[in-house]
Structure 1
């Protein structure tokens, strides 16, 4: 599993332009799964039910994971809408986003080259408007320790910016903490070293 963080959208954006009497409305939204992407696409289709075309592309995970990409020309000539939309999204380096470009036709034919330019260009312009945040990949660690080791462990957790998720104080202390995946092994080794291997550390699951 790739543990490096990647960029995602902070909020949705809309870009609208008119080309040869056709109105193109590009909407891009953060979508963290294929189901979320399809839900957003369906929302836009309902919103613009009277439009001739609602073409789309999505990246439903890490930006480089092409297994979670999708696109549709929605009635436009093959290759003139969905692929140019997806090409702009994949070139942005941003993950977990969906773009839907709605076209209200003005009766003037744009030709295949004109359509590619219009659909890809709309997404390109919309991407200039987006604000991004970093999505960190985290994992959960379970720590079992004696009460005498709490101070040592908490010092190490603080150093690695690990967040306590739960704590159970009974015979021993059992903590579940969340830490960035690419720091988990280093944190584990550090705790083992500082405690003289008296803390039991195990991975719970990957988020």
Structure 2
């Protein structure tokens, strides 16, 4: 099971000039379509006097569906938004958006040149951004009799599990976080080690 993805740490911006046209690429992290659209609107407003504000974003799959959108924003179809999107995909990034702003310099680039310009602008800004890996996790609550405390702690420790919170009264409770790829394995280990004398809940 995939339980991590790559994204950019924070906003980045670069600029290139091609045949007197200026291409300003603004990359940003985003957690949802709504967040991406809001950032695109913000950047487009910042460069409201530009000839074009083309964009693309890609959000981590929800229920197996890859979520993405791109726009040519008035440029020839398929020559701006798609190359930006392809640059994000080539970098294997999710939860990432890019707006490439163009100030026309008076010289037409042709469809091939235009496509390369938007692709290069997007690649350039991604190369300047800091790439990070995000782990996908599930939080659990386990309740158990106090005499099982050592067994529970040993089992969690053996799997390198991070404990978020704990409470030891008449009945003990531990909250911990698990990578998605080992959820089933850990559940089986806890149930086996305690002879199912626990209450295990995903929260």
Q: So what's the TM-score if we normalise by structure 2?
A: 0.91
CA contact (8 A) 1:62 1:96 kept: no
Q: Which residue of 1 aligns with 2:5?
A: 6
CA offset at residue 25 of structure 1? 0.6
**Any stretches of 5+ residues in structure 1 without a counterpart?**
none
Counterpart mapping for 1:32-111 below 5 A: 32-62=31-61, 67-111=66-110
CA contact (8 A) 1:60 1:69 kept: yes
CA offset at residue 30 of structure 1? 0.9
CA distance in 2, matches of 1:198, 1:165: 21
CA distance in 2, matches of 1:128, 1:192: 46
CA distance in 2, matches of 1:35, 1:71: 14
CA distance in 2, matches of 1:100, 1:170: 54
CA distance in 2, matches of 1:73, 1:143: 50
CA distance in 2, matches of 1:113, 1:157: 56
Closer/same/farther in 2, CA of residues 126 and 66 from structure 1, 3 Å limit: farther
CA offset at residue 165 of structure 1? 3.5
Which is worse superposed, 73-82 or 193-202?
193-202
Q: How many residues align?
A: 202
Closer/same/farther in 2, CA of residues 183 and 66 from structure 1, 3 Å limit: closer
Closer/same/farther in 2, CA of residues 79 and 131 from structure 1, 3 Å limit: same
- Are 2:173 and 1:153 equivalent residues in the alignment? no
- For the residue of structure 1 that corresponds to 2:84, the secondary structure is helix
Cα shift readout 1:3-28 (whole Å, capped 9, x = no counterpart): 42111111222121111111001111
**Any stretches of 5+ residues in structure 2 without a counterpart?**
none
CA contact (8 A) 2:57 2:96 kept: yes
CA contact (8 A) 2:3 2:137 kept: no
CA distance in 2, matches of 1:12, 1:79: 25
CA offset at residue 171 of structure 1? 3.4
CA contact (8 A) 2:22 2:104 kept: yes
Q: So what's the TM-score if we normalise by structure 1?
A: 0.89
